């Protein structure tokens, strides 16, 4: 009920904003204005983009409309009458929408002489829209198509009380502080350059170190669980994707073919066909199963330029991919094993999570019996792990149902994370078999899974989760030596060499700057420990330790600091 009331409130706020825009910009043409999570937006066709000053004027006019407490009333018109009504007013987008409505009548909502096409529902009067704030403006193509007119989309938020609005705006400010794109620049982790191409990431040394640490940890844990590593090419013959069904079911996400000696090749959108071909290089016995192949495999998928977003939405990314080949009897146990692995990894990174069961989509391969078997197996695994889950109807991939794991970060936001997919269809299409105990060939079952997701998206989310302040085991620079004066530099480098030899990632700031300045800069760079050295530290063969979180920790021997750091790195989470 609370969500319904919020939706009504935000829907009505969108209408109040549309009225304000029409009052201030009479030539503006109205498109659509729905409520969305945490707010609302409205698209307008205007002669020039809205400016920040325009948003201030629109918000001020909205406050006047709210203060007047105009009743919001519903009425109906025949479809033809509504077409004439909006056509006479030059509202061509409304006319286009009305022509597609199958019903003979349409509903309208009116306040203070402003009428808009809308299914509703709304609040009773404009006075109920008490706590509202306009947030931003962006370009948006009509109906999301680059072939259509570029419109101006104004985003806003509305809440039942001023206190709720203030809390949301504070959370929004915290999100901005944690934005991985801003932190990526400030901490020198990664970039995306126009010269390289949109949606393609350049990993800088510090970002590459974080990625290396995660990937090394990932590899170690996979080896413990019986996985074997593969490498597969970045391009492949188009024929393999015809067999897999990607060309028929996924072509809109693939790049155009490359012609090599009159034969079409494709940048790979998925790693699974290559893993299948490795499996098929030998006749497999049931005694070998399950076989678990893993690859940090880079794939390429077409994303519209308007959807690209830092590390979170890119055109080339590396999946922490794996495919398990097993017997039907082993399927549930293998899925349980993956869910156990997911739980271990996510807790190491400090995440809580929730599971979703994504079922058969409209565009899919295979019989109802196969889908039912695969879905039932995933349900059995979820129940065996005592994982509560929600059903995501039609959210599966074209070859099978899946378990989606959504992560919750430090601000309580939901992120796409691991997925586990049960697949009976690709083994059929590629004739993936094993020899059973009876000496006959049987169809293998395939599990597709990622336990982190894409490395780009996972690290982007991790930057925001930690607000750039990585725990010691993941920090690209774990400690920085800060000599007080030039004469202390040799000792700083000597200590740094000792710590590096023991496995710590250490740097030395021996610039001719004041100590306080160097400490502040190290804090800005979110380095976990600052080790200040001067005359006293040289005499005592010690370091003065400052913690990023706790401040001054006093003097410690080099061995004492090393023991502290090693103990901290061994702690989970």
Q: Which is catalytic among the residues 246, 275, 448, 546?
A: 448
Q: Which is catalytic among the residues 402, 465, 488, 526?
A: 402
Q: Give the chain's radius of gyration (CA, Å).
A: 29
**224 carries an active-site annotation:** no
Q: Cα 385 to chain center, whole Å?
A: 25
How many CB atoms neighbour CB 333 within 10 A? 14
**301 carries an active-site annotation:** yes
DSSP string, 88-101: HTT-HHHHHHHHT-
* Contact criterion met (CB below 8 Å) for 295 and 229: yes
**180 carries an active-site annotation:** no
Q: How far is CA 75 from CA 6, 108, 522, in A?
A: 22, 5, 63
Q: What share of the chain is helix, strand, coil (3-state, %, to 5)?
A: 40, 30, 30
DSSP string, 397-415: BTTB-EEEEEEE-TT--EE
Q: Which is catalytic among the residues 19, 111, 152, 319?
A: 319
Output phi, psi for 249, to 5 deg: -120, -5
**319 carries an active-site annotation:** yes
* Rounded (5°) CA angle 71-73-75: 165
* C-beta contacts of 378-383 below 8 A and 24+ residues apart: 378/335, 378/402, 378/403, 378/420, 378/422, 380/332, 381/332, 381/335, 381/336, 381/339, 381/420, 382/339, 382/355, 382/357
Tokens standing for residue 52: 């920040």
**321 carries an active-site annotation:** yes
Q: Which is catalytic among the residues 10, 153, 323, 360?
A: 323
The dihedral sign for the CA sequence 128, 171, 20, 46: negative
Q: Which is catalytic among the residues 321, 404, 409, 509?
A: 321
Residues 6+ apart with CB under 8 A from 86: 94, 95, 98, 117
Q: Which is catalytic among the residues 272, 320, 510, 526?
A: 272
Rounded to an integer, what distance in angstroms lies between the CA atom of residue 410 and that of residue 405?
16
Tokens standing for residue 511: 């610039």
Q: Which is catalytic among the residues 153, 206, 275, 301?
A: 301
Residues 6+ apart with CB under 8 A from 54: 24, 137
**272 carries an active-site annotation:** yes
Catalytic residue IDs: 272, 301, 319, 321, 323, 402, 448
């Amino acid at each position: 009920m609370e969500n319904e009331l919020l939706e009504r409130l935000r829907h009505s706020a969108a209408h109040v904003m549309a009225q304000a825009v029409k009052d201030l910009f009479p030539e503006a043409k109205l498109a659509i204005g729905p409520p969305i999570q945490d707010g609302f937006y409205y698209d307008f066709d205007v002669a020039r983009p809205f400016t920040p000053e325009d948003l201030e004027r629109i918000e001020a006019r909205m406050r006047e409309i709210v203060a007047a407490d105009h009743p919001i009333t519903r009425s109906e018109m025949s479809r033809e009458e509504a077409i004439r009504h909006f056509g006479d007013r030059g509202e061509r987008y409304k006319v286009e929408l009305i022509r597609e409505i199958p019903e003979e009548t349409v509903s309208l909502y009116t306040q203070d002489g402003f009428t808009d096409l809308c299914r509703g529902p709304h609040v009773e009067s404009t006075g109920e829209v008490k706590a509202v704030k306009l947030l931003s403006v962006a370009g948006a193509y009509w109906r999301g198509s680059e072939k259509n007119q570029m419109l101006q989309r104004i985003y806003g938020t509305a809440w039942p009380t001023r206190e709720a609005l203030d809390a949301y705006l504070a959370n929004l400010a915290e999100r901005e502080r944690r934005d991985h794109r801003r932190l990526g620049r400030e901490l020198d982790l990664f970039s995306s350059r126009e010269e390289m191409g949109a949606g393609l990431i350049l990993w800088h040394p510090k970002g590459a170190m974080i990625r290396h640490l995660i990937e090394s940890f990932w590899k170690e844990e996979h080896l413990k669980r019986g996985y074997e590593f593969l490498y597969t090419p970045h391009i492949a013959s188009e024929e393999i994707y015809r067999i897999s069904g990607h060309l028929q079911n996924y072509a809109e996400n693939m790049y155009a073919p490359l012609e090599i000696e009159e034969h079409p090749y494709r940048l790979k959108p998925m790693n699974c066909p290559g893993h299948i071909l490795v499996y098929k290089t030998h006749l497999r016995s049931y005694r070998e199963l399950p076989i678990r192949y893993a690859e940090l495999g880079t794939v390429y998928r077409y994303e519209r330029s308007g959807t690209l977003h830092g590390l979170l939405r890119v055109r080339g990314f590396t999946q922490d991919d794996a495919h398990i080949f097993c017997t039907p009897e082993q399927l549930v146990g293998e899925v349980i094993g993956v869910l156990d692995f997911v739980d271990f990894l996510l807790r190491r990174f400090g995440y809580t999570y929730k599971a979703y069961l994504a079922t058969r989509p409209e565009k899919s391969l295979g019989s109802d019996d196969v889908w039912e078997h695969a879905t039932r197996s995933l349900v059995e695994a979820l129940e065996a792990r005592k994982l509560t889950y929600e059903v995501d109807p039609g959210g599966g991939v074209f070859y099978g149902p899946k378990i989606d794991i959504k992560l919750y970060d430090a601000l309580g936001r939901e992120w796409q994370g691991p997925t586990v997919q049960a697949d009976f269809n690709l083994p059929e299409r590629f004739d993936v078999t094993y020899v059973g105990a009876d000496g006959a060939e049987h169809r293998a079952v395939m599990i597709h899974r990622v336990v982190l997701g894409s490395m780009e998206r996972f690290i982007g989310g991790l930057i925001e989760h930690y607000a750039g302040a990585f725990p010691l085991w993941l920090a690209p620079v774990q400690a920085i030596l800060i000599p007080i004066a030039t004469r202390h530099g040799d000792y700083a480098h000597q200590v740094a060499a000792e710590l590096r030899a023991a496995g710590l990632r250490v740097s030395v700031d021996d610039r001719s700057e004041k100590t306080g300045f160097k400490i502040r800069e190290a804090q800005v760079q979110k380095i976990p420990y600052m080790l200040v050295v001067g005359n006293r530290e040289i005499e005592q063969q010690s370091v003065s330790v400052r913690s990023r979180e706790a401040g001054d920790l006093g003097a410690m021997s080099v061995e004492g600091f090393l023991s502290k750091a090693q103990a901290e790195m061994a702690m989970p989470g």
